[in-house]
Structure 1
């Protein structure tokens, strides 16, 4: 009879390009992997791996074991989590995704604190340019900055986050005066292409509540916010960035806020929760730690 250990072992093989890669993932020798695979095939009575080529290829029976095994393993994991949740125990594997910059600064330390506080659980953090585009059901928590995704996702707001129009003093010293949003159409603008937004249409709300939009032609653009910030610091133009990302530069005088009387749409920091993981004890424990770390907002103390 195939055991859950057999299924876990074969899942590693199914996700590897070679038996040698499987051995590295399992922290055993390649002969040990070959021996265990042979024993598993004898147990089920069919070949599971095609060994005729260099790459690891599943037979039809191997594909069936891999797909059905994933279902069985998920059911076993879900049952274990449900029983643990009944006891309020934090166990299982916490899967978190977050944007690169914010994730490194503010999420990674909380993942570490979670692992330290709950030795019965494990954790992984996936940093991504577009965390909201990841398959939500593959994660317990996806930290996202900006408008939430589809309406069927569970969303909880973690912290407010303003977006600011900024440029370096060096750029502003040589640029034409910027008295209203309309003046931005004649400036060097830097755009970050993310979250499927229309990044060239900049929207503002004025001091008296009036709305203004301006279509900019980016002089430079990137999908990496850190790159945009470095370009702005190098006197290359005007950018829109989150408050958490530029508050130190503003305080130190490396950047200055442009049109401070005009507000940009906020980009709150939210957590997207997979329906399957939304109420697990580990998710609840992690979100509690993450909220605590963001109160008071750490970047406001830098200003």
Structure 2
């Protein structure tokens, strides 16, 4: 008779391309993986895996077991979560997806703090500026900044977040301060390539008149890493458009100067996206969302 440990072991085997990769994932030796797989096959009197020179493939029976194992283990996790929920305890696995730079700076520290407070909880954090939205339902919470990719998810605003045009004092001393959006075409502009957005079209609205202007910049420098383009701007190489959360500190310290302050760029609010409504939300998700609102809502980038 096989048990839940066998199912978890085989799920790991099925999710890797070789027994060596499985051994690395479980931090054991390859011979021990081979031995354990043989014991499992002997228990079932079935061949589950075809071994190739540098890879493995599942037999028909192996595919069936992997699929059933995933369902059974998910049901067991749900059962454990339900038991803990009856006691108002936080347990299970909290899965969070967040943008790379923001997630590294603000979400990762929050997650370690939250997990340390709830010892029956494990947390999976993935950081990506170009996530696979087809897997949206596999996450408990998705942190999103700016344009929303999916309107079917439940939205909870964590903090308002403006976008600023800015450059270093050295750049302004050398090239001058643009007085209107059209003059941006005469300046060195830097683009951040992320989320498949049209990053070379800068749209802005005059604060007093409400008139809008769209300027197509021709960036001399571009990168998919926000830290890189911010450093380029501070080094005097050009003008950037960045989120308030990312440049507020540098503006306050004088390393960057905000440009065209009479104009506003589209907001890029920081939100949490969830695939369940409040009543169906697991305790771990509900409590972490509350903590997110407390910390991110206070705008720690101004501290």
Distance 1:270 1:21 in 2: 37
Gaps of 5+ in 1: none
TM-score, normalised by the number of residues in structure 2: 0.92
* Greater Cα shift, 277-286 or 256-265: 277-286
Q: Tell me, yes or no, if the aligned pair for 2:163 and 2:267 is still in contact at 8 Å.
A: yes
Distance 2:6 2:126 in 1: 27
1:188–1:73 distance in 2 versus 1, CA, 3 Å: same
Quick one: which of 284, 289, 292 aligns to 2:291? Answer: 289
Alignment of 1:28-107 (within 5 A): 28-107=28-107
Gaps of 5+ in 2: none
Between the two proteins, the alignment pairs up a number of residues equal to 301
TM-score, normalised by the number of residues in structure 1: 0.92
Q: Tell me, yes or no, if the aligned pair for 1:168 and 1:235 is still in contact at 8 Å.
A: yes
Distance 1:161 1:132 in 2: 24
Equivalent residue, structure 2, for 1:5: 5
What does the per-residue CA deviation read over 1:20-47, in whole Å, with 9 as the maximum and x for residues that have no partner?
3322322333333222211211222211
Deviation at 1:176, TM superposition (A): 4.6
Give the 3-state SS of the residue equivalent to 1:135 in structure 2: helix
* Greater Cα shift, 184-193 or 18-27: 18-27
Equivalent residue, structure 1, for 2:20: 20
Equivalent residue, structure 2, for 1:233: 234
Equivalent residue, structure 2, for 1:206: 206
Deviation at 1:158, TM superposition (A): 0.8
* Greater Cα shift, 179-188 or 76-85: 76-85
Q: Tell me, yes or no, if the aligned pair for 2:12 and 2:22 is still in contact at 8 Å.
A: yes
1:299–1:92 distance in 2 versus 1, CA, 3 Å: same
Distance 1:45 1:112 in 2: 44
What does the per-residue CA deviation read over 1:23-80, in whole Å, with 9 as the maximum and x for residues that have no partner?
2322333333222211211222211111242212222221221122212222222233
Q: Tell me, yes or no, if the aligned pair for 2:204 and 2:265 is still in contact at 8 Å.
A: yes
Give the 3-state SS of the residue equivalent to 2:6 in structure 1: helix
RMSD of aligned alpha carbons: 2.0
Alignment of 1:62-211 (within 5 A): 62-131=62-131, 133=133, 135-208=135-208, 209-211=210-212
Q: In the alignment, does 2:222 pair up with 1:221?
A: yes
* Greater Cα shift, 187-196 or 67-76: 67-76
Distance 2:227 2:84 in 1: 41
Equivalent residue, structure 2, for 1:298: 300
